[in-house]
Structure 1
Amino acid sequence: MSVAVPITSTGHPWDKDDGPLSDSRNGKFSVFGCLVTEKKLRKREGKFGIFNCDWKCRVVSDHKEYLDDDDAIGGAGKGDMLTTDMEGETSFSSKTSPRKNKYQMSAVKCFGVELSPDNVAVAMVYFVQGVLGLARLAVNFYLKDDLHLDPAETAVISGFSALPWLIKPLYGFISDSVPLFGYRRRSYLILSGLLGALSWSLMATFVDSKYDAAFCILLGSLSVAFSDVVVDSMVVERARGESQSMSGSLQSLCWGSSAFGGIVSSYFSGSLVDAYGVRFVFGITALLPLITSAVAVLVKEQPVLKPTRGTNLPLASLNFIEGSKQKIIQLWGAVRQPNVLLPTLFIFLWQATPQSDSAMFYFTTNSLGFTPEFLGRVKLVTSVASLLGVGLYNGFLKNVPLHKIFLVTTIFGSALGMTQVFLVTGLNRKFGISDEWFAIGDSLILTVLGQASFMPVLVLAARLCPEGMEATLFATLMSISNAGSVVGGLIGAGLTQLFGITKDSFGNLATLIILCNLSSLLPLPLLGLLPRDNPDANKESEDIEMKSN
């Protein structure tokens, strides 16, 4: 199941007295004439971050002059000392500054992005999203071995746990419109982390029925989905007004953090289940969301002013409801446009084909005897393969028309998916390939192809968003895509039940695999719903949210 799994645009990465005198790109800017206005001193963010005052500066870069704010009215003499009235600070031009060496210290960067407190917070939240995969294997074994559920029941619970990802735009409305304890971002990150810690703590201690397990897994999913929307909005705000290169760097930081967390959790997930049991893994997992709560204090955010005394609270609530209604109307007006609705319909149908993942998990563990430790190693391989799939798309496919990518990857994916029949029937052993090595190779190839085929979904969703409501509509389209995945999982659960596949009976599993892979070809006649364009005319694929679960 694919889940579209982004720092304010004005937050400056340096403190008031720690900004460099040179521009961070090439170090060639120099201040040679500055005038402090008589206005109330305020911190200028997004410019040079040199002093805590309202500057009008003329700078030089490669013999070209630029006038800050286009309204400088004069300047002190070159090298003159300027004095502000804020805490008696004395500021110097770059020529006479005694702290020149301090200002020239280079900032620490990752993926080309400066690791400011805001960026560190975003990266850590994405890391937590990736490392929470530590419990995924433990959940599967818990549902199978402790609660003794059949494959169909496990598939239903998995689909139910994805419901919070279907209403992501609602979280955006809440975060934007309902400040919690005076903050729109920081407080919701803290709350999301606490909610996730609570859900996994319950799984580690009190949960002993499938209904309790489904509820706690749902809470954990809600925690991740809400924090995902909050940091998504921070990245959107941070990327607004930045260059395309910087936007791509921000997405690389997010994706790289999540991928690193996924690889770390994959390495330990199986061995911890094997050595200490699922309850222990749930307890360890309960500590991870607290990282989200802890890094929330790094988010630079101005507190929202509380309503003054005498404010009409019912009227304010009415305004909120009316504003939300207008946003929904605007969103529906965008979605119902044919150039958005028809491609969205294709995405939904493409994701809604049935899946046999739960049945295959039961077969590999109960029939083939794969241990949790070995499955953890397989998961590690698939995590690395996911990165290879992204590299395959970025290196060779991002300039290929979308309909061609969908056509080729769907056909190849359907054909290669049939290889699971070899594992079910034992044909791989007749060719001298062990079950373990065949499972690793099969998972590697299918994951690379699956990730490369999912990237166009993100590209298409990003390109369908009209200007002015990019974040909201993108979240909506991803929710629709997630809904298709849920529908596909539920259809797969129904087929599993229909074919009589249980935790001990796998007689019709090969038939189920063949049917699921053939059904993935059904949306291909609808490729005409996708927009036809020149791929070289736009490069949104470098700026999209590259996350999947």
Structure 2
Amino acid sequence: MLVHSSGLSKVKDSVTEKIFLGNEPNAELIAILTVYFVQGILGLARLAISFFLKDELMLTPVQVSALLGIVFLPWMVKPLFGFISDGFPIFGYRRRPYLVLSGILGAASWVSLATIVHTSWAATVAIALSSLSVALSDVIVDSLVVERARTESQAQAGSLQSLCWGASAIGALITAYFSGVLLEHFTTHTVFWITALFPLIVSVVAWLIAESPVSKDAQESNHLKFIKIKHQVGQLREVFTQRAIWLPTAFIFIWQATPSAESAFFYFSTNELHFQPEFLGRVQLVTSFASLAGVWIFQRFLKSIPFRVIFRWSIILSATLGMTTLLLVTHANRSLGIDDHWFSLSDSLILSVMGKIAFMPVMVLAARLCPSGVEATLFALIMSVFNLGGTVSRGFEALIMHWLGITATNFDLLWLLVVIANVSTLLPLLFLHWLPNAEEQTQTPILQPASANNREQPFSPDLMPELILREPESKAVE
């Protein structure tokens, strides 16, 4: 009996160490990982949305690009969700009820897409609500991770964030291929119905969160809340007046705001090249694995390289390799004896690896800019600026497509859009001097707000906040 118990104990210890990276697998951890997993698995409906907008609502590439820019708006105000959750408990709880609400909101948005959405405006509202649902749950679960990470030992540092990222990545990988396969056999509405089930899982596991109610005596008065928020806003204003903060943030915005050709290329792939959903799902699977490879390459070989160097070369290589899309757009690949499908797969694989390598320094830089005292809020604000850049990019894409006359069937000047998009990605090279130089990069942190009196902590890229990995996709990883 003792031998049996000893064996079970060893198995448990092994699972804790190898699968959960040393974190005790209790009910709350399972709930947190489930929320991240659901965020990844919601990609199941990504292709369904694209085909729904294109084939059922008959939207043009210009309209789709503009719509996708609008629905990312909730990701630009994530700090607001944190303020609301912290300052206005529901029935005395700051986390659990908001997770429940986010799950219900997400399920309702997908059900509406499956049933009552028949216009572009209704689709915009429904998809925006789905985006709001994920952004809200993201803020809440990130706060839980931060609270847990504070108790990690030095040996465990970064393990919880890595575990959460792994759960999200597994969900994304599982659905990457099946998002296309399902559309081969079912309608988009059926896929929306299936997707609606997953946010409800968030509402269920929210009850596993170990949270004590805030006592009435502990709840701050509205006046004190206002003073606290005013003080924090003052700290942020003080920080953002520093060139060491706002110049790199402006660089991130410019880097993200250059136009892409994503919406137009989807129409070209389906209407001109006649790629089927199953194949597009296969492309998503390949690009998902390629993105993981890009993360590994960065962490293994590149994370110690100065920001300016890695941004310079990633921008140049991404723009150069991006021009290979011209071969597919002009059908030159056929003259070379390369099938459209194989060319698209290999091109997507290479560009995804490069895109993720280019994207990873943004995470490092954003985390690196945040001084103690306002790190969580400032990080969220920097990433809101990043997402704003993505919306501006969509707007530029829509304007250029309208100017070039690109429609669902006219791709005569798609090559020019590809050239403009790739050449414009070189624009940030003019502003590389806005980034910290090699000496400034080694200073930890770059600066402290004058009102903060916190002991400096050494920075490591392995300790980057996990939330950025679940932001809406940047054009760098398309």
TM-score, length of structure 1 as denominator length: 0.78
Map 1:3-402 → 2, pairs under 5 A: 106-107=12-13, 108-109=15-16, 110-306=20-216, 316-402=221-307
- Give the CA deviation at 1:244: 4.5
* 1:545 pairs with 2:455: no
- Give the CA deviation at 1:336: 2.2
**Over residues 369-420 of structure 1, what are the superposed CA-to-partner deviations in whole Å (9 max), with x where a residue is unaligned?**
0011110110111111111110010111101111111000000000010111
**Over residues 228-268 of structure 1, what are the superposed CA-to-partner deviations in whole Å (9 max), with x where a residue is unaligned?**
01111111111124235423111111111111000111121
- Give the CA deviation at 1:103: 11
**Over residues 442-487 of structure 1, what are the superposed CA-to-partner deviations in whole Å (9 max), with x where a residue is unaligned?**
1111111101110100000101111122111111111111111111
Distance 1:269 1:416 in 2: 27
What amino acid sits opposite 1:380 in the alignment?
L
Alignment RMSD (CA, Å) = 1.9
CA contact (8 A) 1:462 1:540 kept: no
Distance 1:138 1:404 in 2: 39
Partner of 2:448: none
Distance 1:302 1:102 in 2: 35
What amino acid sits opposite 2:348 in the alignment?
S
Larger radius of gyration: 1
Q: Secondary structure at the match of 2:427?
A: coil
Distance 1:316 1:406 in 2: 47
CA contact (8 A) 1:236 1:471 kept: no
CA contact (8 A) 1:399 1:536 kept: no
* 1:416 pairs with 2:321: yes
Distance 2:302 2:182 in 1: 38
CA contact (8 A) 2:38 2:171 kept: yes
Structure 1 residues not aligned, in runs of 5+: 1-99
CA contact (8 A) 2:307 2:438 kept: no
The structure richer in helix per residue is 2
Q: Secondary structure at the match of 1:305?
A: coil
Partner of 1:509: 414
**Over residues 163-216 of structure 1, what are the superposed CA-to-partner deviations in whole Å (9 max), with x where a residue is unaligned?**
000011111111111111221111111110110000001001110000000000
Distance 2:258 2:343 in 1: 25
TM-score, length of structure 2 as denominator length: 0.90
CA contact (8 A) 1:193 1:289 kept: yes
If asked which structure has higher relative contact order (CA below 8 Å, sep 6+), I would say 2
* Structure 1 residues 245 and 146: CA distance shift in structure 2, 3 A: farther
Partner of 2:382: 477
- Give the CA deviation at 1:545: 2.9
**Number of corresponding residues:** 445
What amino acid sits opposite 1:529 in the alignment?
W
CA contact (8 A) 2:368 2:459 kept: no
Q: What percent of counterpart residues are identical?
A: 50
What amino acid sits opposite 2:232 in the alignment?
K
Distance 1:471 1:204 in 2: 37
What amino acid sits opposite 1:284 in the alignment?
I
Q: Secondary structure at the match of 1:247?
A: coil
CA contact (8 A) 1:172 1:229 kept: yes
Q: Secondary structure at the match of 1:114?
A: coil
Candidates 484, 494, 498, aligned match of 2:403: 498
Structure 2 residues not aligned, in runs of 5+: 444-457, 474-478
Distance 1:545 1:134 in 2: 25
**Over residues 520-548 of structure 1, what are the superposed CA-to-partner deviations in whole Å (9 max), with x where a residue is unaligned?**
00111211111123567765211113514
What amino acid sits opposite 1:183 in the alignment?
Y
Distance 1:244 1:394 in 2: 19
Distance 1:242 1:305 in 2: 27
Q: Secondary structure at the match of 1:334?
A: helix
CA contact (8 A) 2:257 2:393 kept: yes
Q: Secondary structure at the match of 1:523?
A: helix
**Over residues 63-83 of structure 1, what are the superposed CA-to-partner deviations in whole Å (9 max), with x where a residue is unaligned?**
xxxxxxxxxxxxxxxxxxxxx
- Give the CA deviation at 1:217: 0.2
- Give the CA deviation at 1:317: 2.5
